[in-house]
Amino acid sequence: MNLSPTYGNFVLRGTVVGLADKRAYTEGQTESGKWKRVQFGIKVSESSIVYVELFGSKTSNVKLFKRGTNADESLTVEWDDLYNSKYSNYRYANQVKVNLGCGNINDDFSLIAWDAIEYFEQHLKDGSNVLVKGSLQLNEYKGNSQEQYVIREIYVLENYNFKNKHPEAFFSHEIVYVDAIPLNENGEYTVDTRVINRNSNDCDVVPFNFYIYNKEVYDYFKNNISKGSTLRVHGNILNYVPLKIIDGHTIISGSAVKGLEITGGNVRSIASNRYDIDKLDSINAIGSPFEEETNTNEWGF
């Protein structure tokens, strides 16, 4: 079966938390070279934190790709020559655009992931207000679905305060639609989908469930989208603990909520009956789900 990857993106506005934890920065060594990872939270409301991450490795040579062309047009350069101006028309895989206000606030620049992590170590602190955009990667681990929010852009925000605002934590993702199913009588629904991730040799097919809390959106799926169709959906990233105030005290009022809520989609993106779900499900999920998404607009979509 001829498969095409289904890419996803996210955008967050909030306050950096968790960098003071000794586990925020980790590093190690493999046969191919050194690696670094950073993981921290973006607090988007009083009760909601979304965790983002970035992984980078350092090797003797780096493959560069010509901007605006297919991956076929590339060249390999030495690590120390990576930022030479003569390669300004090339990009490197997993590059990160950054601006944490250390120089001219209008000066955005791109770094390879390894260098971006070192830049964060020097300039990013808990309490920083930031805009983060990146790649949303949906995968399966030991039978459980999980989301990973991989940083592709990060910018400092001036005069920002998330208080009294609706959480700004949004996603967009192409899906293979299977079915929409009522969860209960309270207007909550689940959307059964498949996502297709590129690996080094082929593609992996991963089952993933989204949520809907709007009956009109649910009805649209049930009445207009056929099984095996692909389309791009968007919505809210949910990762919070319900709170309420009693006698002036804030208390937890329910179980933690975590998932992706679909609030709409792009009608023009619908490709009806594109895949046979039975054949998709027969494909073994192997390999790595990580892949760079380069075709994004200013909001990461």
Where are the chain's structural domains? 8-281
pLDDT tens, residue by residue, 14-36: 999 999 998 999 999 888 789 99
- Residue 103 and residue 266: Cα distance in Å, rounded? 39
Residues 6 or more apart whose CB falls under 8 angstroms from that of 152 comprise 95, 96, 97, 133, 134, 135, 292, 293, 296, 300
- Residue 172 and residue 263: Cα distance in Å, rounded? 10
Residue keyed to tokens 């989208």: 225
Q: What's the whole-model pTM score? A: 0.86
DSSP per-residue letters across 137-150: EEEEETTEEEEEEE
Give the sign of the dihedral formed by CA 261, CA 265, CA 269, CA 274: positive
8 Å CB contact between 135 and 12: no
pLDDT tens, residue by residue, 151-209: 999 999 888 887 767 889 999 999 999 999 999 888 899 999 999 998 877 888 999 99
pLDDT of residue 141 exceeding 70, the answer is yes
Rg (CA), the chain: 21
The highest-confidence range among 68-72, 87-91, 241-245, 259-263, by mean pLDDT, is 259-263
8 Å CB contact between 180 and 259: no
